[in-house]
């Protein structure tokens, strides 16, 4: 018997009980739609995390001083002055895969301007900082190499600081007091918002050399400690750069074995991987939740198919008496199940895409439906029809025609 | 000499019910000639329905030999039996057994669908079969829109649409009033004249008397076998 005939017979079976068929389909629609939507939310979270990590700057390598260990009591990262400004300079000069370096030393200070005052973070860094961080001045300028060399008392302020200190006037060219020291404002940074660690806008940027000589209380004698060195690798050379920095610092610090390392290196890649593994778990959880509703929908199909086989026992007997073979009956019911689940699948995909669009629009959450999730949903609904349809269909095909014909 | 279309020899059909085996058919031997018109009579429980199921290839004997149309049924697979039911045998049931979701012509076409006949051929042959039973005008009616007699005509059309050698009728008039029953029996006469072997199961003596041969059964065995008139038709 031809596929078209089988399809027609199956279709007639579905039409013979429209309400029940539609309710069965509904179970699959809900299952597939939730899979599509929740996978979309998971995918959106992944993209969002990637975007945030990217916004910190690309190809970045973070070098931090290692935790000082005092009689086995870890004193926390950044407590030991093991990383110095000299290290940062050496990285810039000797590591060929490193393209820019910005050392950082930060501390919180009271800042005044006229009648306004605020407490904020003062970050001493290098002129390369805007480039490395992908964070630029919106007005005025960032300090340059000359400012550095001459330890000029200039600063570029973040947008939050500007709001606090200069609510009504333009700050460029004005002077502010940082812990009583006079600094001239030469620029205002663009608005960046907060990342996982700090509010990027609530900072004042000064040349790190000026910081050492004025605010930070560190000099060449005590050692010019830095809290972090940000290095930017040349494109595609993240691993080489990481390797070069590690070796350089071990050499400079006289470290003999890796477990004595007094610094820590993390790359953008590490952070990205952490973020991805978190969002991956998130996606998996969402997918699993949706998967449960899909299984429930599949059991619904099996349930209805079993009822349908029982109800149509006599019909099966008649068909067998007039010459239907095992395969004819089997395929009739398997196809019925597949048509139900595929119809549910297609409607579910449509509904899921509409749902994702709404979530994107009204909940302000990026919800991305990938071709992969559509193909997956389609394949899963096909598999459900096959898997949950085959048992009832086999039951029907194995019915003894004599018994079946005797059934009322 | 007319050849036999059905040859049953030493047939046993045993059901295992508890400890005692139950013999629905016991050492039964029966031959039916091609083109004959046979009535099988007996009370309920006499084994006549079991015999019909065996002849119709819906069931297999526990032991014995059944040669249908020169083929040994015992050796055939389930699918081969299905194929024989489709092409060699036509069934008419007491309860008509039409599919209620289909129109008359769709019901008649169903055996042709399973036989793999092309759609246009199917329609032509189904229309012809409906004409033969005098129901050409009602081909698009559903079973529920037809009277009992009309439904039985549709089921006869379905039984003969694939040109079977044998028509098996199980109490075909059992659910009909006497007037309609007579009409249906007239239809069987016509089919016999066309050369189809008709075997019918009945407990109605009047119905049985229209056949050429009457086989009586009791307790799974044949008690009498009498020819009451010569074969109406002698196929070439």
pLDDT tens digit string along A7-26?
A: 888 888 888 888 989 988 99
How confident is the model over A110-134, as a mean pLDDT? 90
Tens-place pLDDT, residues A282-304: 888 888 888 888 888 888 888 88
Looking at the structure, tell me whether residues A152 and A48 fall in a common domain: no
The label of the residue with tokens 């009579």 reads B41
Which H or E run includes A345? helix A326-362
pLDDT of residue B236: 43
Residues 159-178 of B with CB under 8 A from A: 162
Structure tokens that stand for A205 in this block:
């940027």
Contact A405 B93 (CB under 8 A): yes
Structure tokens that stand for B113 in this block:
């669908």
Question: Nearest by CB to B59, which of A314, A327, A402?
Answer: A402
Share of chain A above pLDDT 70, in %: 94
Looking at the structure, tell me whether residues A222 and A280 fall in a common domain: no
Q: Which residues of A touch B51 (CB under 8 A)?
A: none
In a domain, A70, yes or no: no
**pLDDT at A378 > cutoff 50:** yes
Question: Nearest by CB to A321, which of B58, B78, B101?
Answer: B58
Q: Which residues of A touch B79 (CB under 8 A)?
A: 325-327
Contact B97 A401 (CB under 8 A): no
In a domain, A36, yes or no: yes
Last residue of a domain, one of A210, A234, A261: A261
Instruction: Tell me the Cα Rg of chain B.
Output: 18
In a domain, A158, yes or no: yes
In a domain, A27, yes or no: yes
Which H or E run includes A389? helix A371-397
Banded model confidence at residue B125, pLDDT cuts 50, 70, 90:
very high
CB atoms within 10 A of CB A358: 12
CA B43 to chain CA mean position, Å: 19
**Contact, A191 vs A200, CB < 8 A?**
no
Looking at the structure, tell me whether residues A392 and A313 fall in a common domain: yes
Last residue of a domain, one of A234, A261, A288: A261
**Contact, B66 vs B74, CB < 8 A?**
yes
**Contact, B38 vs B213, CB < 8 A?**
yes
Q: Which residues of B touch A320 (CB under 8 A)?
A: 58, 82, 85
How confident is the model over A104-129, as a mean pLDDT? 91
Looking at the structure, tell me whether residues A92 and A226 fall in a common domain: yes
| Residues contacting B128, CB < 8 A, separation 6+ | none
Looking at the structure, tell me whether residues A223 and A337 fall in a common domain: no
Looking at the structure, tell me whether residues A100 and A215 fall in a common domain: yes
Tally of domains within chain A:
2
Select from A128, A190, A199 the least CA-distant residue to A157.
Answer: A190
pLDDT of residue A121: 92
* Measured distance CA(A89)–CA(A248) in Å, rounded: 11
Looking at the structure, tell me whether residues A216 and A350 fall in a common domain: no
Select from A3, A6, A80, A52 the least CA-distant residue to A324.
Answer: A6
Looking at the structure, tell me whether residues A198 and A305 fall in a common domain: no
Banded model confidence at residue A78, pLDDT cuts 50, 70, 90:
very low
Looking at the structure, tell me whether residues A88 and A234 fall in a common domain: yes
**pLDDT at B19 > cutoff 90:** no
Share of chain B above pLDDT 90, in %: 72
Contact B97 A321 (CB under 8 A): yes
In a domain, A76, yes or no: no
Tens-place pLDDT, residues A142-158: 999 999 999 899 999 99
Q: CA angle, A49 as apex, A47 and A50 as ends, to 5°?
A: 65
**pLDDT at B88 > cutoff 80:** yes
CA A59 to chain CA mean position, Å: 17
The interface pTM score, or ipTM, of the predicted complex is: 0.92
Which range in A67-81, A216-230, A361-375, B164-178 is most confidently predicted, on average pLDDT?
B164-178
Looking at the structure, tell me whether residues A229 and A359 fall in a common domain: no
pLDDT of residue A71: 43
Looking at the structure, tell me whether residues A399 and A329 fall in a common domain: yes
pLDDT of residue B57: 92
How confident is the model over B100-122, as a mean pLDDT? 92
In a domain, A63, yes or no: no
Tens-place pLDDT, residues B203-213: 888 889 999 99
Q: Where are the alpha helices (DSSP H) in B48-147?
A: 48-55, 78-87, 104-115, 119-132
In a domain, A290, yes or no: yes
pLDDT of residue A74: 52
Contact A5 B113 (CB under 8 A): yes
Residue B7 phi, psi (nearest 5): -135, 110
In a domain, A64, yes or no: no
Banded model confidence at residue B234, pLDDT cuts 50, 70, 90:
low
The label of the residue with tokens 């008690």 reads B223
Structure tokens that stand for A100 in this block:
């820019």
Last residue of a domain, one of A261, A282, A302: A261
Q: How far is CA A96 from CA A18, A92, A111, A248, A343, in A?
A: 72, 8, 40, 11, 60
CA B74 to chain CA mean position, Å: 20
What residues pair up with A371 in beta bridges, in sequence order?
none
Select from B40, B29, B37 the least CA-distant residue to B170.
Answer: B40
Question: Nearest by CB to B58, which of A326, A327, A401?
Answer: A401
Looking at the structure, tell me whether residues A300 and A353 fall in a common domain: yes
* Measured distance CA(A60)–CA(A231) in Å, rounded: 6
Domain ranges, residue A343: 3-52+274-406
**Contact, B79 vs B72, CB < 8 A?**
no
Banded model confidence at residue A205, pLDDT cuts 50, 70, 90:
very high
pLDDT of residue B199: 95
DSSP string of A246-301? HHHHHHHHT--SGGG--EEEEEHHHHHHHHHHHHHHHHHHHHHHHHHHHHHHHHHH
Contact B99 A318 (CB under 8 A): yes
């Amino acid at each position: 018997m031809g596929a078209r005939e089988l399809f027609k017979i199956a279709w007639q079976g579905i039409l013979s009980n429209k309400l029940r068929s539609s309710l069965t389909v509904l179970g699959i629609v809900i299952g597939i739609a939730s899979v599509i939507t929740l996978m979309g939310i998971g995918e959106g979270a992944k993209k969002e995390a990637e975007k945030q990590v990217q916004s910190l700057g690309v190809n970045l390598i973070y070098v931090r001083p290692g935790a000082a260990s005092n009689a086995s009591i870890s004193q926390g990262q950044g407590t030991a002055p093991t990383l110095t400004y000299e290290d940062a300079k050496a990285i810039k000069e000797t590591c060929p895969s490193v393209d820019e370096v910005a050392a950082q030393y930060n501390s919180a200070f009271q800042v005044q301007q006229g009648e306004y005052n605020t407490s904020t973070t003062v970050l001493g860094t290098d002129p390369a900082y805007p480039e490395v961080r992908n964070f630029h001045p919106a007005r005025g300028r960032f300090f340059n190499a000359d400012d550095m060399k001459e330890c000029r008392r200039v600063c570029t302020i973040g947008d939050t600081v500007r709001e606090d200190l200069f609510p009504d006037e333009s700050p460029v060219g004005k002077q502010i007091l940082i812990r009583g020291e006079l600094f001239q404002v030469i620029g205002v940074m663009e608005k960046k918002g907060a990342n996982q660690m700090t509010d990027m806008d609530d900072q004042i940027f000064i040349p790190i050399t000026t910081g050492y000589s004025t605010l930070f209380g560190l000099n060449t004698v005590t050692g010019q400690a830095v809290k972090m060195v940000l290095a930017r690798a040349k494109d595609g050379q993240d691993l080489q750069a990481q390797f070069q920095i590690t070796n350089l610092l071990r050499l400079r610090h006289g470290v003999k074995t890796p477990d004595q390392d007094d610094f820590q290196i993390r790359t953008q890649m590490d952070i990205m991987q952490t973020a991805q593994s978190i969002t991956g778990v998130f996606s998996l959880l969402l997918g699993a939740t949706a998967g449960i509703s899909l299984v429930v929908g599949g059991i619904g199909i099996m349930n209805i198919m079993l009822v349908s086989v029982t109800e149509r026992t006599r019909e099966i007997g008649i068909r067998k008496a007039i010459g239907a073979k095992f395969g004819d009956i089997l395929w009739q019911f398997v196809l019925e199940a597949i048509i139900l689940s595929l119809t549910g699948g297609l409607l579910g995909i449509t509904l899921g895409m509409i749902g994702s669009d709404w979530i994107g629009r009204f909940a302000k959450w990026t919800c991305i439906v990938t071709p992969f999730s559509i193909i997956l949903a389609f394949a899963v609904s096909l598999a459900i029809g096959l898997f949950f349809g085959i048992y009832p269909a086999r039951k029907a095909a194995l019915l003894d025609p004599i018994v079946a014909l005797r059934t009322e | 000499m007319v050849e036999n279309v059905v040859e049953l020899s030493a047939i046993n059909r045993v059901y295992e019910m508890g400890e005692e085996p139950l013999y629905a058919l016991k050492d039964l031997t029966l031959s039916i000639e091609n083109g004959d018109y046979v009535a099988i009579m007996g009370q309920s429980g006499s084994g006549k329905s079991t015999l019909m199921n065996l002849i119709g290839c819906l069931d297999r004997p526990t032991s014995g030999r059944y040669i249908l149309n020169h083929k040994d049924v015992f050796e055939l697979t389930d699918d081969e039996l299905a194929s024989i039911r489709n092409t060699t045998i036509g069934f008419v049931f007491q309860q008509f057994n039409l599919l209620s979701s289909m129109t008359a012509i769709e019901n008649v076409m169903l055996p042709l669908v399973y036989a793999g006949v092309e759609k246009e051929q199917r329609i032509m042959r189904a229309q012809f079969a409906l004409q033969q039973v005098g129901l050409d005008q009602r081909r698009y009616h559903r079973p529920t829109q037809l009277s009992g007699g009309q439904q039985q005509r549709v089921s006869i059309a379905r039984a003969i649409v694939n040109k079977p050698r044998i028509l098996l009728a199980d109490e075909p008039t059992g659910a009909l009033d006497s007037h309609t029953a007579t009409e249906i029996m007239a239809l069987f006469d016509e089919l016999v004249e066309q050369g189809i072997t008709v075997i019918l199961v009945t407990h109605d003596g009047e119905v049985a008397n229209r056949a050429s041969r009457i086989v009586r059964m009791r307790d799974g065995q044949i008690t009498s076998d009498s020819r009451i008139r010569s074969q109406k038709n002698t196929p070439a």
